[in-house]
């Protein structure tokens, strides 16, 4: 067994953060990417809290998970209610996950003034729920909410709540710094006392309210914790949770504690999650940020070009990042090679085609493109740069219009498309539920006589990001489209000052990628 397991709660605790939201498809895609990355546990949500989480568990039950165990989250039974009769507990079993995490009250402040139950009844609520879930074959983690605040007030009762969970069969007792107000020395001391007293597996769940989420989790690991809970990119309630993109490489590289099989995927996973969450990447994020290994002139550049470790604490390629010297055009080849290899291309470092691809990537990224969640567009970029792709059509013209009557009783969006397909002129008109939907319908209508597969491809998701908001309504727009054929999904991206054009570019990439992959382009 690994000395420390990683428990990801991005899809539950992370979505409690301001501005963070995932669709059902987003949640599945994030979970699959985390599974491929090698995270041990993925908390999918609270099946009793909302239809979206319930739908996630229904979809997750149909999929094969290679590395991670999908986990459902809930609470102990209600006070005065038998555990077998508690509807919320039943939903945890209905989620069909191999692992269930339940949260319980540890702090008497919450027990008596929030739950309004007697201290002994709270202990029974914990024990009954853990025992019931274990009897039904689940691996059970017990999250001791507000544990550190509770322990400072009343160590005896705090330990009694943990004993109730342990004696009922909990596999890991997770100590939660729910308010994020503890200091590393407090976390270390209390965690060590718990490990010594209870002699059972202990985990740590920290929040970042004092900017110490990662430091506190590391302190707990040093004191004996064997599970770390956190979120990708530090998403979470208030200012966030322990950031897994920071603590995973710190544990693995700095402390020699293996966490994931291939740490070089870290930066890509971080950016993938940011893109699906539709939030800007933090360029100054440790390890994975664009600025993490960037040097900007002066003595630093002179030194780092001779000896990288003179101004870098580690090799950036270990986390999938790269050294960037802003005055150099040679940075970034390792990233291109790694990503191209993932997509099935094989190049030698320094080869002319790699330089050409890198040049194209830099030019497109300068326009606002991001490819982390748009592998299909990156695949096409490589093929276009190398001249290895045949376009499905030549565009002559497209047009979108929106009409609304004065009394608002009549609205319609209409799109026209003029193409040359295999030498044949096509002119189509379609209406839709918006300009992009109408444009997509007109494009499909034009291509349908030539490409029978067009109706097997459908749009699964559509996201819009304003890149330079300071320009107001003239800001540049990035559109991310996720498409599926029912068996797999792929992402494409388009960028323009015009949201319609950005959408068109992403749509066309989606169809051209499918045709190229299937060998259907004529």
pLDDT digits (tens, 9 = 90+) for 197-219: 999 999 999 999 999 999 999 99
Whether 293 maps to a domain, the answer reads no
Residue 479 pLDDT more than 80?
Answer: yes
Whether 326 maps to a domain, the answer reads no
Task: Give the per-residue pLDDT at 469.
Answer: 67
Residue 99 pLDDT more than 90?
Answer: yes
Do 189 and 86 fall into the same domain?
yes
Do 69 and 152 fall into the same domain?
yes
Task: Give the per-residue pLDDT at 328.
Answer: 36
Do 374 and 502 fall into the same domain?
yes
Q: Which of 46, 56, 61 lies closest to 25, judged by CA?
A: 56
State mean pLDDT over 341-362. Answer: 85
Residue 442 pLDDT more than 60?
Answer: yes
Task: Give the per-residue pLDDT at 447.
Answer: 96
Q: Which helix (H) or strand (E) segment is 248 a member of? A: helix 244-249
**Tally of domains in the chain:** 3
Rg over alpha carbons for the chain, rounded to the nearest Å, is 26
Whether 52 maps to a domain, the answer reads yes
Do 205 and 339 fall into the same domain?
no
Task: Give the per-residue pLDDT at 471.
Answer: 72
For CA atoms 107, 109, 115, 119, give the dihedral sign. positive
Whether 319 maps to a domain, the answer reads no
Residue 333 pLDDT more than 60?
Answer: yes
State mean pLDDT over 418-441. Answer: 93
Whether 329 maps to a domain, the answer reads no
Q: Quote the tokens at residue 311.
A: 């101004």
CA atoms within 13 A on the CB side of 85: 5
Do 241 and 372 fall into the same domain?
no
Write the Ramachandran bin of 355: left for phi over 0, alpha for psi from -120 to 50, otherwise beta: alpha
Do 380 and 417 fall into the same domain?
no
Task: Give the per-residue pLDDT at 330.
Answer: 41
Per the DSSP assignment, residues forming a β-bridge with 295 are 325
Cα–Cα distance between 491 and 459 in angstroms, integer? Answer: 10
Residue 304 pLDDT more than 80?
Answer: no
DSSP 14-72: GGGSTT----HHHHHHHHHHHHHHT-SEEEEE-TTT-HHHHHHHHHHTTS--SSPEEEE
Q: What is the CATH number of the domain that holds 10?
A: 3.20.20.70
Task: Give the per-residue pLDDT at 319.
Answer: 94
Do 137 and 234 fall into the same domain?
yes
Task: Give the per-residue pLDDT at 82.
Answer: 96
Q: What is the CATH number of the domain that holds 437?
A: 3.30.160
| Local confidence band at 281 (pLDDT 50, 70, 90 cut-offs) | confident
- Decide which of 232, 261, 290 is a domain's last residue: 261
Cα–Cα distance between 421 and 418 in angstroms, integer? Answer: 10
The torsion angle over the Cα atoms of residues 383, 387, 390 and 394, rounded to 10 degrees, is 110
Cα–Cα distance between 175 and 148 in angstroms, integer? Answer: 7
- Decide which of 413, 431, 450 is a domain's last residue: 450
Do 509 and 472 fall into the same domain?
yes
**Residue 420 structural domain:** 394-450
- Mark 23-38 as b/e (b = at least 16 C-beta within 10 Å): bbbbbbbbbbbbbbbb
User: Are the C-beta atoms of 35 and 68 separated by less than 8 Å?
Assistant: yes
Task: Give the per-residue pLDDT at 168.
Answer: 98
H-helix segments, 317-402: 333-342, 352-366, 375-386
Output the average pLDDT for the chain: 90
State mean pLDDT over 251-263. Answer: 97
| Local confidence band at 329 (pLDDT 50, 70, 90 cut-offs) | very low
Task: Give the per-residue pLDDT at 521.
Answer: 40
Cα–Cα distance between 30 and 32 in angstroms, integer? Answer: 5
User: What single-letter DSSP state applies at residue 253?
Assistant: I
Backbone angles phi, psi at 25, to 5 degrees: -65, -40
Task: Give the per-residue pLDDT at 390.
Answer: 76
Which residues 6+ apart lie within 8 Å of 387 measured at CB? none
Whether 297 maps to a domain, the answer reads no
User: Are the C-beta atoms of 318 and 354 separated by less than 8 Å?
Assistant: no
| 120-to-80, 108, 137 alpha-carbon distances in Å | 12, 11, 26
Q: Indicate the pairing of strand 99-105 with strand 69-75.
A: parallel
Which residues 6+ apart lie within 8 Å of 120 measured at CB? none
Residue 286 pLDDT more than 70?
Answer: yes
The residue to which tokens 């024990």 are assigned: 127
Q: Which of 116-120, 163-167, 385-389, 391-395 has the lowest mean pLDDT?
A: 385-389
- Decide which of 239, 261, 283 is a domain's last residue: 261
| Local confidence band at 327 (pLDDT 50, 70, 90 cut-offs) | very low
DSSP 193-232: HHHHHH-S-EEEEEB-TTS-HHHHHHHHHHTT--EEEEBG
Task: Provide the percentage of residues in the chain whose pLDDT is more than 70.
Answer: 93
Q: Quote the tokens at residue 472.
A: 């107001």
| Local confidence band at 350 (pLDDT 50, 70, 90 cut-offs) | confident
User: What single-letter DSSP state applies at residue 96?
Assistant: T
Task: Give the per-residue pLDDT at 303.
Answer: 65
Do 130 and 199 fall into the same domain?
yes
Task: Give the per-residue pLDDT at 395.
Answer: 95
| Local confidence band at 305 (pLDDT 50, 70, 90 cut-offs) | low
The 10 Å Cβ neighbour count of residue 446 is 25
Whether 129 maps to a domain, the answer reads yes
Do 189 and 204 fall into the same domain?
yes
pLDDT digits (tens, 9 = 90+) for 447-477: 999 999 999 999 988 999 888 766 777 788 9
- Mark 302-337 as b/e (b = at least 16 C-beta within 10 Å): eebeeeeeeeeebebbebbbbbbbeeeeebbbbbbb
| Local confidence band at 59 (pLDDT 50, 70, 90 cut-offs) | very high
Residue 331 pLDDT more than 60?
Answer: no
Residue 241 pLDDT more than 70?
Answer: yes
CA angle 415, 421, 424 (to 5 degrees): 100
Whether 250 maps to a domain, the answer reads yes
Q: Which of 26, 90, 92 lies closest to 57, judged by CA?
A: 92
Q: What is the CATH number of the domain that holds 361?
A: 3.30.160.340
State mean pLDDT over 128-156. Answer: 97
State mean pLDDT over 303-308. Answer: 66
Per the DSSP assignment, residues forming a β-bridge with 203 are 174, 227
Task: Give the per-residue pLDDT at 407.
Answer: 74
Do 222 and 342 fall into the same domain?
no
Do 380 and 398 fall into the same domain?
no
Task: Give the per-residue pLDDT at 113.
Answer: 85
State mean pLDDT over 487-508. Answer: 92
């Amino acid at each position: 067994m690994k000395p420390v397991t990683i428990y990801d709660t991005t899809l539950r605790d992370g979505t409690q953060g301001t501005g963070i939201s995932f669709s059902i498809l987003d949640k599945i895609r994030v979970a699959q990417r985390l599974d491929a990355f090698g995270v041990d546990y993925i908390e999918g949500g609270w099946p009793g809290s909302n239809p979206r989480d319930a739908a996630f568990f229904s979809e997750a039950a149909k999929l094969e998970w290679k590395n991670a165990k999908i986990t459902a989250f809930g609470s102990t039974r209600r006070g005065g209610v038998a555990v077998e009769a508690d509807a919320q507990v039943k939903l945890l079993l209905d989620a069909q996950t191999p692992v269930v995490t339940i949260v319980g009250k540890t702090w008497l402040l919450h027990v008596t003034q929030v739950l309004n139950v007697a201290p002994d009844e709270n202990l029974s609520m914990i024990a009954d729920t853990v025992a019931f879930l274990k009897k039904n074959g689940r691996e059970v983690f017990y999250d001791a909410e507000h544990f550190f605040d509770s322990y400072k007030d009343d160590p005896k009762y705090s330990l009694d709540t943990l004993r109730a969970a342990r004696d009922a069969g909990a596999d890991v007792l997770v100590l939660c710094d729910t308010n994020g107000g503890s200091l590393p020395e407090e976390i270390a001391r209390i965690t060590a006392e718990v490990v010594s007293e209870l002699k059972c597996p202990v985990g740590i769940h920290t929040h970042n309210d004092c900017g110490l989420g990662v430091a506190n989790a590391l302190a707990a690991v040093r004191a004996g914790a064997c599970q770390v809970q956190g979120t990708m990119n530090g998403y979470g309630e208030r200012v966030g949770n322990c950031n897994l993109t920071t603590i995973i490489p710190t544990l693995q590289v700095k402390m020699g504690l293996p966490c994931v099989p291939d740490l070089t995927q870290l930066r890509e996973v971080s950016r993938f999650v940011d893109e699906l969450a539709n939030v800007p990447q933090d360029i100054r994020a440790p390890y994975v940020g664009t600025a993490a290994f960037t040097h900007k002139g002066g003595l630093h550049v002179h030194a780092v070009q001779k000896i990288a470790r003179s101004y870098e604490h580690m090799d950036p390629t270990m986390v999938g990042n790269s050294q960037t010297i802003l005055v150099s055009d040679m940075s970034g080849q390792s990233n291109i090679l790694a990503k191209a290899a993932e997509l099935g291309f094989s190049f030698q470092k320094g080869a002319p085609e790699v330089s050409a691809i890198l040049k194209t990537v830099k030019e497109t990224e300068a326009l606002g493109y991001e490819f982390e969640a748009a592998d299909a567009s990156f695949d096409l970029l490589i093929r276009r740069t190398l001249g290895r792709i045949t376009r499905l059509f030549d565009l002559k013209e497209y047009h979108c219009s929106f009409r609304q009557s004065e009394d608002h009783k009549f609205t319609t969006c209409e799109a026209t498309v003029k193409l040359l397909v295999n030498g044949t002129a096509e002119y189509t008109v379609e209406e839709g539920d918006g300009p992009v939907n109408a444009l997509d319908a007109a494009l499909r209508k034009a291509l349908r006589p030539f490409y029978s597969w067009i109706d097997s491809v459908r749009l699964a998701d559509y996201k819009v990001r304003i890149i330079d908001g300071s320009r107001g309504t003239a800001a540049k727009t990035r559109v991310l489209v996720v498409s599926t054929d029912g068996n797999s999904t792929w992402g494409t991206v388009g960028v323009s000052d015009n949201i319609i054009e950005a959408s068109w570019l992403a749509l066309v990439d989606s169809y051209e990628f499918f045709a190229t992959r299937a060998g259907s382009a004529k």
